[in-house]
Structure 1
Amino acid sequence: MRFRQVHLDFHTSEAIDHIGSRFEKKQFQEMLRLGHVDSITVFSKCHHGWAYHPSQANQMHPGLSYDLLGAIIEAAHEIDVKTPVYLSAGLDEQLAVRHPEWWIRPRYGGHEDLFRPGYHQLCMNTPYLDTLLAQIDEVVQNYDADGIFLDIVGVRECYCASCVATVRGEGGDPRDIGVMRPLWERTYANYTRRVKETVHARRPGMPIFHNGGHIRRGRRDLAQMNTHLELESLPTGGWGYDHFPLSARYVQPLGMPFLGMTGKFHTSWGEFGGYKHPNALRYETALSLAHGAACSIGDQLHPLGSMDEATYALIGKAYKEVEAKEQWCLNTVNVADVALLSVEAAGAHTAEGGQDTFTGQSDAGAVRMLLEGNILFDVVDLESDFNAYRVLILPDHVRIGAALQPKLDAFLAQGGRVLATGESGLRAAEDAFAVDLGVRDAGINPYQPDYFRPLHPLPSLGEAAFVFYGQGRKVELTESGTEQGRRENPYFNRDAFTFCSHQHTPNSGEYGGPGMVESRNGIYIAWNLFEDYAVKGSLAAKETALFALNRLLPQPALRSSLPAQGSVTLQKQAGLSRYVQHTLYAVPVKRGDGIEIIEDLLPVYDVSIELRIPEKVHAIYLAPQMTPLDFEQQGERVAYTIPELECHQMVVLEYEEII
């Protein structure tokens, strides 16, 4: 997989003429060189449904008079730039207009405003699938494509006439969602299987990716329907800066090649004339490298076909740096102490607390805490090997079912420890703890919010009773537990007849039971603490969780003096006998209506790093600068200082192989 990719959208209305009339090979090539681009995903078919080349399987855009796809591929290949080819799969508006019976239909509602601009998604359990496969086959047969990228697809809920008829023909009742769900799964699996058969019949091994905007944690079967993964994650486009680290830390351990896809846009896809600050792209591409990913930046070609110089100058500022760093980012494995069992992967993303499609509040809050605490971690699912980690986090909503219980028991038996919060650790079918965490469940806590008084001073805030906003469980201490903090009740919950002041009721000081308990198996905190942090961002919540992790992980693989807005990862290139430690620092700020932007990248000086690794280190240097660093090694402990960090700095540790 190449590291410096561009994803070039071209969704162009039939109401625009002279399509591609200003495309020039030389100008196209100059822009790719300016952008330091080595792969560009180009377009066969757009959301409007038009082909951008002569076609027997589709209709060429009525405003296009020549083979634009062929011209682009020829121009790119001439300068050794790869060209995966894009086809809009889930959307095809010119077909949707002619075949409304192919539309995906919701069970309820579905009354479309015929005068609202937009697309209609098509069902793969209709004759549309055969049409799409013919279009894909035509591209693979006629063009020197370097891959196939299919967009707007996934397991879709659909009650179209075809789906209803299929279920009824099998003797099922389409009113039963439990009967319909297997059909929707089969429909998607059949679509991906037939695409693979179609593509690989002509080009065995050609890369194929099916894009749904998010890689679902816990659905390895869906991930493995691709040859590689592209993590669409535009921070300003709705994904935010929490999504990519969460997704990448899940994907890298799967062992599939993958990239991080951001965009050049100030907002999101389809924005003409919108540009983010160059420093934002520098940071976002560095974030991909630090998480073991290649890079992709989204752009959209103007209908007339001329590449935008400002865009490729912007991209080039980031990709020039990526090009210099690539050799230290190939074939890496993440080093992690902690496994975060994703709420989404555990199947609880619809639990109380509102877990959204892309991140989920509990997962996002946990990842944010781990990054800010400089904790090395992976995000895992129920198929992961927990024994590869020292600590397992069960965030807020992870109840223990039949699949998880034996893995958790084995993990604890070999010395692993757990950090559980909220309802995590309870049995799936009853309100009783499935493992000994030193507490006995007493039901949902009646007060929200209430107060936590740790029996230790928090590093930044000292001693106090801190408001926790998240829903909590009421628990009782057992003989195996040691109380590390207590719950204190408010006078009453806020309602129409009993309220106090502007927000919530003050602390009464009344003991409400244990709030944080430590046992031989780990630590339990009796609130949805990670969800609370995602929503409220309370310093007390974060420092409570990090206190627990520091007790569970007294000798972590990495310690750093980096401030909270920074992040660190440790990647291993075993084939080259070296570690590559990444340090990043940027401060996203809100601008406009909820858009997070990065503009200024302030330097940070004298960042101390301490690693614990088993190998004997013989050289440490900054990359790509190749500047040697002084270091100290005593046993497994290696310590050094990064003199200056501006955006992203790699430190390479070359070691001697253990014989």
Structure 2
Amino acid sequence: MRFRQVHLDFHTSEAIPGIGTRFDKRQFQEALRIGHVDSITVFSKCHHGWAYHPSKANEMHPHLDFDLLGSMIEAAHEIGVKTPVYLSAGLDEKLALRHPEWLIRSQDDRTRWVDSFLKPGYHEFCFNTPYLDILLAQIEEVTREYDADGIFLDIVGVRQCCCAACISELRRRGKDPRRAEDVLELGEETYARYVRRVREVVHGIKPGLPIFHNSGHVRRGRRDLARANTHLELESLPTGGWGYDHFPLSARYVQQLGMPFLGMTGKFHTSWGEFGGYKHPNALRYEAALSLANGAGCSIGDQLPPDGRMDEATYRLIGAAYREVEAKEAWCRDAVNVADVAVLTLEALQSEQGEERTGLSDTGAVRMLLEGHILFDVADLETDLTPYRVVVLPDKVRIGEELGRKLNAYIEQGGRVLATGCSGLNEQGDAFALDLGVRLVGENPYRPDYCRPSFPLPSLGEAAFVCYAPGLSVELSGGKELAARENPYFNRDAFAFCSHQHTPNSGEYGGPGMAASDAGIYIAWNVFEDYAVKGSLFLKELVLHALNLLLPSKTVDTGLPAQGVTTVQRQPGSGRYVHHLLYASPVKRGSGIEVIEDIVPLRDVTATLALPEPVKRIYLAPQMEELPFERTGERSVRYTVPEVTCHQMVVLEV
């Protein structure tokens, strides 16, 4: 897998003339050199439905008069750059206007993406229609006729469709199109058939050719969907709707699957389809470094102007990041993440469904762990928990029979859990399925209420802190109370309210709010959801106190500030560990857009690492400067990193 990829979009309307007229082989190659690009995804077919090459399976763009795809592949291969080929699979607006009966329909007969033909935008196709055979012919043609280094298929996934074809199929099987479960079952089958037929077509011509089916998000807990691909590309444009929370959450799940993967961001200030929008070079430097620190290669999205001339400003921007990636690749290949903690993702438990890419509880948990510099993976029900010292159950993890057996065996072997809110309850929600030292009383009747820890918090000392999220009322059952719940005078309503927001603390004891037991620690509120929404400092310090109790000796301890990110990656084949330290601080600019502009250097950042093997040598990469270190134990070392400017790697040879 190449580390420095560009994903080149080209969704170009038939209303625009002169397509590709300024394409120039030398200028194309020079842009790739400026960008330090070693792989570029070029295009066979766009969302508008047009081909950018002579085609029998499709129609070439009416204003293109040469083989643009072939010219790009030839130019890139001439300078050693790979060329995966893109086809828009789910969208084809040209064909949508001719065959609207093949489009995905909702139960109220609306189309997907754009719900009307009187609005600008695209309409998504159902693969349970004759459209699939047309798409497969297009895929076969480009695989057979062009020297593609892979096939990238966009806008696909398991869909719930009530088009005429799907309704007829459901009724033929005796299923009810009005039942969401029946519709979803057919959607799963339709997608599986599409994946199988694509693989048969592509690998029947070029065995082993990389194939990726892009749905904009790799679903945690659906390893079957992930393994429909030969590799993964984590589409995650921080300014394009994914935010800076999404990639770490996704990457910390995907890396453990053992598949090569890329982190895909964009050069845009906002998102796809933005012409003339550029993010600061420091943002791309940071986003590329974040991919490396999480075991991923890099992909940066761009969109070619209609005339076919590469935008040189874009490739200067990309080059600022990829020049650094090129120097770092040797310490990032074939890396395995080191983790003390596993977060059991709610997405895998189907507790947080919908169109959002990240649930609040998962997001809050990952934010806290990143800010607390705790090394972690994101786990699903198939994950082997034995390597982890702590398993976090965020807010809503109900315990069924199979998961209960797994967690109880893990606890019996010495593992510990951190459970919050409703986590740890049985599937019926009427009792705890894990012995967390507490007994269920019922739902907490007050919201918000207050938490009074029995210990001072590092930044805030001693106080009673407001908790906005819901939680449970519990009583001790063999556990030790670490924090108390205190009730407000009453819940706020029209006839009893106080001040501007919520009722003050009455000081009345409401039962334990946090308790420790032999199994781990339980916190009685949905603290991760609360942190994702409100971001209260007390919540993070409460959770980090719990994790420090459960992890008295962590793998890494670092002096990075809260916005710093740290990971430890192991390269088994090279006999070394690589400690990644990153620092940048996104700020909100505009409406809902986080940007990175200034990179502030950090100096004299301390770190302590405890590894399974004795450390022989430590140096900075890619500078190759020896780094003095002190042994603090048989396998523990301490060192000071002189400077972290965006991203610094520390290599520990064992």
Give TM-score scaled by structure 1 length: 0.98
1:320 aligns with 2:318: no
Instruction: Please tell me the residue identity of whatever aligns with 1:430.
Output: G
Give the SS at the match of 2:640: strand
**Shift of residue 616, structure 1, vs aligned partner:** 1.6
Alpha-carbon distance in structure 2 between the residues aligned to 1:644 and 1:73: 41
Instruction: Single out whichever of 291-300 and 637-646 deviates more from structure 2.
Output: 637-646
Is the 1:617–1:653 contact (alpha carbons within 8 Å) kept by the matching residues of 2?
A: yes
Q: Give the aligned partner of residue 296 of structure 1.
A: 299
* Conserved 8 A contact 1:242-1:368: yes
- The CA deviation string for residues 354-377 of structure 1, in whole angstroms up to 9 with x for no partner, is x76211100000000000000000
- One-letter amino acid of the structure 1 residue matched with residue 164 of structure 2: A
Equivalent AA in structure 1 for residue 527 of structure 2? L
Once residues 614 and 62 of structure 1 are traced to their aligned partners in structure 2, the CA distance between those partners, rounded to angstroms, is 62
Written as runs of structure 1 = structure 2, the 5 A alignment for 1:424-503 is 424-478=423-477, 480-503=478-501
3-state SS, counterpart of residue 523 of structure 1: strand
Match of 1:54 in 2: 54
- 1:609 is aligned to 607
The alignment covers a number of residue pairs equal to 650
Q: Give the CA deviation at 1:113.
A: 3.5
Structure 1 match to 2:417: 418
1:464 offset after TM fit, Å?
0.1
Are the aligned partners of 1:371 and 1:568 in contact in 2 as well (CA < 8 Å)?
yes
1:580: Cα distance to partner? 0.3
- Structure 2 partner of 1:12: 12
Equivalent residue for 1:98? 98
Alignment of 1:270-285 (within 5 A): 270-285=273-288
Q: CA deviation at 1:402?
A: 2.5
Report the counterpart of residue 527 of structure 1 in structure 2. 525
Other-structure match for 1:123: 126
SS in 2 for 1:137: helix
Match of 1:307 in 2: 310
Task: Map 1:367-378; keep pairs closer than 5 Å.
Answer: 367-378=366-377
Structure 1 residue 138 corresponds to structure 2 residue 147:
no
Where does residue 344 of structure 1 map in the other structure?
Answer: 347
Deviations 1:57-111 (A, max 9, x none): 0010001001000000000000000000000000000011000000100012517
Looking at structure 1, the residues matched to 288 and 130 of structure 2 have their Cα atoms a distance apart, in angstroms, of 40
Residue deviations 1:235-293 (CA, integer Å, cap 9, x gap): 00000000000000000000000000000000000000000000000000000000000
Q: SS at the partner of 1:231?
A: strand
Which residue does 1:264 correspond to in 2?
Answer: 267
Rounded to whole Å, the distance in 1 between the matches of 2:263 and 2:492 is 45
Contact 2:5 2:39 (C-alpha < 8 Å) held by counterparts: yes
Aligned to 2:615, what secondary structure does the other structure show?
Answer: strand
Structure 1, unaligned runs of 5 or more: none
Contact 2:109 2:162 in 1 (8 A): no
Residues 398 and 429 in structure 2, CA contact (< 8 A), matched pair in contact too: no
Q: Once the 2 structures are TM-superposed, how far is the Cα of residue 632 of structure 1 from its aligned partner? A: 1.2
What is the match of residue 575 of structure 1?
573
Determine helix, strand or coil for the equivalent of 2:616: strand
Instruction: Tell me if the contact between 2:481 and 2:514 (Cα under 8 Å) persists in the aligned partners.
Output: yes
Is 1:384 aligned to 2:383, yes or no? yes
3-state DSSP class of the match of 2:119? coil
Distance in 1 separating the partners of 2:485 and 2:635: 40
Amino acid in the other structure paired with 1:37: V
Indicate whether 1:241 and 2:239 are aligned.
no
Give, in angstroms, the shift of residue 638 of structure 1: 1.0
CA-CA distance at 1:577 after TM superposition: 0.4
User: Equivalents in 1 of 2:263, 2:622: separation in Å?
Assistant: 21
Taking the aligned partners of 1:566 and 1:3, their CA distance within structure 2 comes to 23
1:388 match: secondary structure: coil
Question: What is residue 32 of structure 2 aligned with on the other side?
Answer: 32
Please name the residue that 2:153 is paired with.
Answer: 150
Contact 1:18 1:304 in 2 (8 A): yes
* CA displacement 1:95-151 (0-9 Å, x = unmatched): 110000001000125174432101000000000000000000000000000000000
Could you give the per-residue CA deviations for residues 523-575 of structure 1, whole angstroms, max 9, x where no partner exists? Answer: 00000000000000000000000000000010011111111010100000011
The answer to whether the 8 A contact 1:349-1:356 is kept is: no
DSSP 3-state at the match of 1:387: coil
Amino acid at match of 1:297: I
Is the CA contact (8 Å cut-off) linking 2:514 and 2:522 kept in structure 1? Answer: yes
* Residue type at the aligned position of 1:270: G
Dislocated runs of 4+, deviation >2 Å: 111-115
Structure-2 separation of matches of 1:247 and 1:207:
21
Report deviation, 1:339. Answer: 0.2
| 1:203 and 2:202 correspond | no
Provide the residue aligned with 2:362 in structure 1: 363
d(CA) in 1 for partners of 2:343, 2:601? 31
Structure 2: unaligned runs, 5 residues or longer:
none
After superposing the two structures, state which structure 1 stretch, 174-183 or 394-403, moved more: 174-183
Aligned to 1:540: 538
Q: Offset at 1:403?
A: 2.7
Once residues 274 and 179 of structure 1 are traced to their aligned partners in structure 2, the CA distance between those partners, rounded to angstroms, is 44
Distance 2:355 2:253 in 1: 17
For residue 420 of structure 1, report the CA deviation from its aligned partner. 0.3
Asked if 2 retains the 8 angstrom alpha-carbon contact of 1:6 and 1:40, the reply is: yes
Mapping of 1:504-519 within 5 angstroms? 504-519=502-517
AA matched with 1:649: Q
2:404 and 2:232 map into 1 onto residues whose CA distance is 30
Distance, in Å, in 1 between the alignment partners of 2:628 and 2:140 is 57
* Superposition deviation, residue 33 in structure 1: 0.1
Equivalent position SS for 1:616: coil
Residue 573 and residue 533 in structure 1: after superposition, are their counterparts in 2 closer, same or farther (change >3 A)?
A: same
Residue aligned with 2:368, SS: helix
Distance (whole Å) between structure 1 residues aligned to residue 140 and residue 263 of structure 2: 27
Q: Give yes or no for contact 2:451–2:484 (8 Å, CA) kept in 1.
A: yes
Letter in 2 for 1:459: P
Deviations 1:164-207 (A, max 9, x none): 11111112121122222211100000000100000000000000
Alpha-carbon distance in structure 1 between the residues aligned to 2:541 and 2:451: 12
2:390/2:417 contact within 8 Å kept: yes
Q: Residues 325-348 of structure 1, C-alpha deviation per residue, up to 9 Å, x if partnerless?
A: 000000000000000000111221
Q: CA–CA distance in 2 between the matches of 1:135 and 1:389?
A: 46
Tell me how far apart the structure 1 counterparts of residues 266 and 40 of structure 2 sit (CA, whole Å): 13
Q: 1:652, 1:250 → 2: CA distance?
A: 24
Let me know the Cα RMSD of the aligned residues.
0.8
- Note if contact 2:614-2:636 (Cα within 8 Å) is conserved in structure 1: no
Q: Quick check: 114-123 or 219-228, which moved more?
A: 114-123
Is 1:564 the counterpart of 2:562? The answer is yes
The alpha carbon displacement at 1:605 in A equals 1.0
Query: Take 2:375 and 2:206, find their aligned partners in 1: how far apart are those partners?
Result: 40
Distance in 1 of aligned mates of 2:38 and 2:405: 47
Q: What amino acid is aligned across from residue 303 of structure 2 in structure 1?
A: Q
Aligned to 1:555: 553
Identity rate of aligned residues, in percent? 70
Distance in 1 (alpha carbons) for counterparts of 2:591 and 2:175 = 46
What amino acid sits opposite 1:367 in the alignment?
V
Verify: 1:42 aligned to 2:45, yes or no. no
Q: Please tell me whether the aligned partners of residues 382 and 403 of structure 1 are also in contact (alpha carbons under 8 angstroms).
A: no
TM-score w.r.t. the length of structure 2 is: 0.99
Equivalent-residue separation in structure 2 for 1:44 and 1:98 (angstroms): 20
In structure 1, C-alpha distance between the alignment counterparts of 2:408 and 2:350, rounded to whole Å: 20
CA distance in 1, matches of 2:604, 2:363: 29
Amino acid at match of 2:46: C
Of 467-476 and 298-307, more deviation after overlay is shown by 467-476
One-letter amino acid matched to 1:47? H
